[in-house]
Amino acid sequence: MSTKSQVTYVNADGLIVGRMSSKIAKRLLDGEHVTILNAEKAIYSGKRKSKIAEAHLFLEVGAPERGPFHYRRPDRMLKKTVRGMLPYRQPKGKTAFKRLKVFMGVPLEFKDQQTVQFDEAQASKLKGPSFTLAELAKEIGWNQGE
């Protein structure tokens, strides 16, 4: 277990969403506080058309008034991806999830922070097509003014 006061800053620019999320979930469960920056620049792998069609189908599930509610903002989408990799219904998962912060862009208070890079999650290792989380969010109805 690491110390509770340790904060890890992750720059999501050019990192694959799923691989990055699994690494972050592990760190959260180990007791670290994790702050993700540039969430909208995280990369999804695969063909854009099929992923967007899949997202549209997923968004149609549920009753609009009662839920489930599906986020369209890139930072919230990324936060929910990490939550899916945590045992968030158990106390240890809930406390781990509370240690996560996700931001679009880089806020001024984090400008000079040293960021962690996950070599296994680099999008440069992908051979096939890919696109950013912001592109997916725009296609499924995200208005940047939110």
pLDDT at 62: 67
Q: Are 43 and 20 in contact (CB under 8 A)?
A: no
Alpha-carbon gap, residue 45 to 136, rounded angstroms: 11
What is the average pLDDT value for the chain, to the nearest integer? 85
H/E element, 11: strand 7-11
pLDDT at 3: 47
pLDDT at 74: 92
Pick the range with the lowest mean pLDDT from 19-28, 70-79, 88-97, 100-109. 70-79
Within 13 Å and on the Cβ side, how many CA atoms surround 36?
32
**Is residue 10's pLDDT more than 60?**
yes
Alpha-carbon gap, residue 133 to 139, rounded angstroms: 10
**Is residue 68's pLDDT more than 80?**
no
Contacts of 49 (CB under 8 A, 6+ apart): none
Catalogue the long-range contacts made by 21-24 (C-beta closer than 8 Å, 24 or more residues apart). 21/78, 21/81, 21/82, 21/84, 21/85, 22/85, 23/118, 23/120, 23/121, 24/82, 24/85, 24/100
Alpha-carbon gap, residue 63 to 67, rounded angstroms: 5
pLDDT at 51: 67
* Model confidence pLDDT, tens digit, residues 86-128: 999 999 999 999 999 999 999 999 999 999 989 888 888 778 7
Q: How confident is the model at residue 57 (pLDDT cuts 50, 70, 90)?
A: low
pLDDT at 122: 87
